[in-house]
Amino acid sequence: MDQHKCRACGESAGALVLDLGDQPACDYFPRQGDPGPDPVYPLQMWLCSSCGLAQLLADPTIPEEPKAVEPAALVAQAADAVERVAAAGLLPAGHVVAEYGSPHGGSWLSLLAERGLAPASPGESVDVIVDCFGMMHAADQHAALAERTARVRPGGVLLLQYHSLNTIINSGQWNALRHGHYAYYSTSALTEMLAMHGFTPRTAWQFDLYGGTVLLAASRDSDSRPVADGTVPAILAEEARTGVRDPETIRSLQRDTHAHAKRVHDWLVEQRSAGRSVLGYGAASRAVALLLQARVDGSLLPAIVDASPAKQGLRMPGADIPIVGTEELTARRPDAVLLFVPDLLPEVRKAFPEVEAAGARWVDVEAHGSAGLQ
């Protein structure tokens, strides 16, 4: 195999920090009745010693995930974010905006249109670039950032929102690692990446989404922006305390993987032994690696409910677990519903009150204690 070169800076010095072994492409949901075996590919995270970007080592798969239902939490966060960026004076009416979106959905354009910003034509230079969870999907990180920064007019701003590596480490979110997601940004690494393109982070906002999400505003080194404040140095200091550039620190995710998988497996075995029925909820890509690591099959988890019509009739890759519609939440009368997307908890409780009314409880697969696996 050729030596890996950093997707952002091109250097080859680095370390393997998380290895989940061979995994099916989590974007590939086979039809129910497709006996498999599903093709598998190595799933590994590599940390660049030069720029500090944590990244997918190799990715031979082609993303084709059916577009998911946009969680209400994501929609609410977008509105909150636009509000806060506008309050900082970065979204004046009349400015031209281009968005680099995520293939999983979620757009700011209608919110920005309401504020009088105009959408750009393709390739046009703009005052504002918005990228929410978009750039992580680019295999060539250097080219992706070059394209975005090149479109920013003098005096313009680049807004990048990402699930922070600091959160991934501190919350043990090892299954954030997935095929098709090429970069796992720390603000520290992103600061270096931006510097390669003549940009400097000026300010940042933090959100609870996914346990900790950062929205960074950057502009050209040559621009002097009045909004520069202490938020970015504070995030960098927090990341340094965590050790986001230290391979040993990130390797804690490997231990988290084993501990989490064991917790899920043991809990499901316990439920089965006690004669309690369990359904899953949220056939998300991040559930794929968890179910495999935890060696969960259809005898432990007979089905996963998902609201997305595109996923009906399919099964989880690498496991004989069918994906079923939300009507099964009442039809099957489960004792517990194991939630694979914790951000959905408030909205599923609200959308399906019949689950708790029938005496079942929602269990957050990520949580310990009374809210989660115990």
Alpha-carbon torsion angle 279, 282, 284, 289, nearest 10: -30
* Binding range to Zn ion, per CB under 5 A, among 46-54, 59-67, 323-331, 366-374: 46-54
**Which CB atom, from 6 or from 90, has the smaller least distance to Zn ion?**
6
The string over 331-355, giving b where at least 16 C-beta atoms fall within 10 Å of a residue's C-beta and e elsewhere, is ebebebbbbbbbbbbeebeeebeeb
Min CB(44)–Zn ion separation in Å? 16
**Residue nearer to Zn ion on the CB measure, 50 or 102:** 50
Residues 162-181 that bind Zn ion (CB under 5 A): none
**Dist CA 329 CA 65 (whole Å):** 24
**How near is the Cβ of 64 to Zn ion at its closest, in Å?**
28
Q: Return the number of the residue (48 or 373) whose C-beta is nearest Zn ion.
A: 48
> Which secondary-structure segment (H or E) carries 239?
helix 231-242
8 binds Zn ion (CB under 5 A): yes
- Our CB check for Zn ion shows the closer of 53 and 289 to be 53
Asked whether position 125 contacts Zn ion by CB under 5 A, the answer is no
Contact 68, 33 (CB under 8 A): no
Is residue 9 a contact residue for Zn ion (CB under 5 A)? yes
Q: Is 50 in the site for Zn ion (CB under 5 A)?
A: yes
Residues binding Zn ion: number (CB under 5 A)? 7
Q: What is d(CA 199, CA 278) in angstroms, rounded to the nearest whole number?
A: 50
287 makes contact with Zn ion (CB under 5 A): no
Distance CA 342, CA 329 (A): 17
Least distance (Å) between residue 9 CB and Zn ion: 3
**Is 45 one of the binding residues for Zn ion (CB under 5 A)?**
no
* 48, 54, 135, 152: which one binds Zn ion (CB under 5 A): 48
Please report how many Cα atoms fall inside a 13 Å half-sphere around the Cα of residue 41, on the Cβ side.
17
- Residue with Cβ nearer Zn ion (47 or 336): 47
Gap between the Cα atoms of 241 and 175, Å rounded = 23
| Shortest distance (Å) from residue 107 CB to Zn ion | 30
How far is 92 from 123, CA to CA, in rounded Å? 21
Is 190 a binding residue for Zn ion by CB under 5 A? The answer is: no
Q: Which of 51, 152, 296, 301 binds Zn ion (CB under 5 A)?
A: 51
The answer to whether residue 290 forms part of the interface with Zn ion (CB under 5 A) is: no
Is residue 6 at the binding interface for Zn ion, with CB under 5 A as the rule? yes
Stretch that binds Zn ion, among 7-15, 91-99, 156-164, 168-176 (CB under 5 A): 7-15
Alpha carbon of residue 252 to chain centroid: 19
Residue 58 contacts residue 25 (beta carbons within 8 Å):
no
Point out which span in 42-50, 78-86, 159-167, 352-360 binds Zn ion (CB under 5 A): 42-50
Q: Which amino acid is it at 62? A: I
Phi and psi dihedrals of 325, rounded to 5? -80, 170
Neighbouring C-beta atoms of residue 122, cutoff 10 Å: 5
49 binds Zn ion (CB under 5 A): no
Angle at 99 between CA 97 and CA 105, to 5 degrees: 145
Question: CB of 289: closest distance to Zn ion in angstroms?
Answer: 25
**Site stretch for Zn ion (CB under 5 A), options 6-14, 105-113, 148-156, 275-283:** 6-14
Contact 224, 165 (CB under 8 A): no
d(CA 315, CA 295): 16
Stretch that binds Zn ion, among 3-11, 284-292, 298-306, 336-344 (CB under 5 A): 3-11
Considering only 44-52, 77-85, 204-212, 352-360, which stretch makes contact with Zn ion by CB under 5 A? 44-52
Task: State which residue, 14 or 24, has the beta carbon closest to Zn ion.
Answer: 14
> Which of these, 50, 31, 51, 30, lies nearest to 39 by C-alpha position?
30
- Interacting residue ranges for Zn ion, rule: CB under 5 A: 6, 8-9, 48, 50-51, 53
